A and B are shown apart, each in its own frame.
Chain A
Amino acid sequence: AQTVTQSQPEMSVQEAETVTLSCTYDTSESDYYLFWYKQPPSRQMILVIRQEAYKQQNATENRFSVNFQKAAKSFSLKISDSQLGDAAMYFCAYKEGHNDMRFGAGTRLTVKP
Chain B
Amino acid sequence: DVKVTQSSRYLVKRTGEKVFLECVQDMDHENMFWYRQDPGLGLRLIYFSYDVKMKEKGDIPEGYSVSREKKERFSLILESASTNQTSMYLCASSLGHQETQYFGPGTRLLVL
1/0 per residue, CB under 8 A from A, across B82-105: the answer is 000000001000000110111111
Rounded to whole angstroms, the CA-CA distance of A45 and B40 in the bound complex is: 17
Q: Which of A4, A45, A103, A104 has the largest number of chain B CB atoms within 10 A?
A: A45
Rounded to whole angstroms, the CA-CA distance of A6 and B41 in the bound complex is: 11
> Do the beta carbons of A105 and B105 come within 8 Å of each other?
no
Instruction: State how many angstroms separate the Cβ of B109 from the closest Cβ of chain A.
Output: 15
Known: A9-B40, A33-B98, A105-B40. A100 touches B45 (CB 8 A): yes
Q: Which of A59-67, A76-84, A90-98 contacts B (4 or more CB under 8 A)?
A: A90-98
In the bound complex, residues from chain B placing their C-beta under 8 Å from that of A11 are: none
Instruction: State how many angstroms separate the Cβ of A45 from the closest Cβ of chain B.
Output: 4
> Do the beta carbons of A91 and B43 come within 8 Å of each other?
yes
Rounded to whole angstroms, the CA-CA distance of A43 and B33 in the bound complex is: 18
Chain B: which residue is nearest A1 at the CB level? B59
> Do the beta carbons of A100 and B48 come within 8 Å of each other?
yes
In the bound complex, residues from chain B placing their C-beta under 8 Å from that of A35 are: 100
> Do the beta carbons of B42 and A103 come within 8 Å of each other?
yes
Known: A97-B97, A100-B58, A100-B59. A44 touches B43 (CB 8 A): no
Interface size on A, residues (CB 8 A): 22
> Do the beta carbons of A50 and B100 come within 8 Å of each other?
yes
* Chain B residues packing against A (C-beta within 8 Å): 33, 40-45, 48, 58-59, 90, 97-98, 100-106
* Chain A residues packing against B (C-beta within 8 Å): 4, 6, 9, 33, 35, 37, 43-47, 50, 91, 95, 97-98, 100-101, 103-106
21 A-B pairs whose Cβ atoms sit less than 8 Å apart in the complex: A4-B42, A9-B40, A33-B98, A37-B103, A44-B105, A45-B103, A45-B106, A46-B103, A50-B100, A91-B43, A97-B97, A97-B98, A100-B45, A100-B48, A100-B58, A100-B59, A101-B33, A101-B101, A103-B44, A104-B42, A105-B42
